[in-house]
Amino acid sequence: MRAVRMTQWQGEPVLTEVPEPDPGPGEVVIAVGGAGACHSDLHLLHEFEAGALPWNPPFTLGHENAGWVHRLGPGVEGLEPGDPVAVVGAWGCGRCGRCLAGLETYCERPDLAPVPGGGGGLGLDGGMADYLLVPGARHLVPLPEGLTPAEAAPLTDAGLTPYHAVRRSLAKLTPESTAVAVGVGGLGHLAVQILKAVCPARVIAVDPREDARSLALAEGADLALQPGEGLVEQVRDATHGHGADVVLDFVGSDDSLAAAAAYARPLGDLTIVGIAGGSLPVSFFGVPYELSVQTTYWGNRSELAEVLELAARGLVRARTTTFDLDDAVDVYARLAAGEITGRAVVVPAREPVRTA
């Protein structure tokens, strides 16, 4: 079968042929109907070095995946070939307290996990291929009626990650509050939709690109601003001088974090989602009083089911451009060049693959 592989650190992806996976006990093979190309793949390809993560290449890229059940390993129940499913991307041990609570992103027994701190497309073979081996049926979520794998795939990260971040701050997202989404590209444009779908807060989008700001306004943002000089004053003016109650930073640079700390409101939340490598000095007078600063990583299975339900009801949708698997290497080049608006989705199969 075809697969887009990461073969080395600080290299380019390669389209090649690999054997089709054979499911063992408890495992499931899906025919991939959608695999999202994510900016974090670019960080993985170009910026990390050996030893920085607890796993190494080679492996197949693609951690945003959905498709149809293709083959079942011994002992798998509750699934049938042809069932449409989305894949929960983080694969923990399934045994520790965090995993049993559904928080496999924060697995506390990485020595028992299929790969420490990763999953399909992150240390193990992902979905940029004709078929994907999933190590357990618990990592699959049935797709709601009317949602295709190509539509669902980007929601497994680009939708799930902001949804998890928004849920952490829901108590502060009241009709009188303001949320700021910084960077309204692949994840941020979905964050705007999620905020409008689940809370009554005012939403401000921040992005240097005019097309991204226009997209954010089209998705329901109340205001869209450019970063840089004047941003702090503009946010404060828009919030009657109070500042933002919740800031979701999908960039994570020195500049975006410094600005967020300057326009955040006391008692607010600043959640760092982006991995641009910036840092925020935290001291007694360095941030507003009782501002909570936190990082977050991905989300869990129950939250993904909720995101998919919002999408099936038309409340959340990823703006996507689809590509064939044979064009996937070029997709990553276009993503790196900033030529993709919204989300790029590679579609290896457009309907279930029938087995004899």
Name the residue ranges covered by the structural domains of the chain: 2-157+299-346, 160-295
Q: How far apart are CA 331 and CA 116, in angstroms?
A: 28
Q: How confident is the model at residue 213 (pLDDT cuts 50, 70, 90)?
A: very high
User: Of 299, 31, 44, whose CA–CA distance to 155 is shortest?
Assistant: 299
pLDDT of residue 74: 97
What's at 25, amino acid-wise? P
Q: Does residue 248 have a pLDDT over 60?
A: yes
Written in H, E and C, the secondary structure of 310-355 is HHHCCCCCCCEEEECHHHHHHHHHHHHCCCCCCEEEECCCCCCCCC
Q: Contact, 89 vs 120, CB < 8 A?
A: yes
**pLDDT tens column, 150-171:** 999 999 999 999 999 999 999 9
CATH, domain range 2-157+299-346: 3.90.180.10
For 212-348, where are the E strands, in sequence order? 223-225, 244-249, 264-272, 292-295, 320-323, 343-346
CA 181 and chain centroid, separation: 15
On the question of pLDDT at 356 being above 60, the answer is: no
pLDDT level of residue 342 (50, 70, 90 thresholds): confident
- In this prediction the pTM is 0.94
* Domain 160-295 homologous superfamily, CATH: NAD(P)-binding Rossmann-like Domain (3.40.50.720)
**If you average pLDDT over residues 45-59, what whole number do you get?**
92
Span 157-209, pLDDT tens digits:
999 999 999 999 999 999 999 999 999 988 999 999 999 999 999 999 999 99
CA gap 207, 182 in Å, rounded: 6
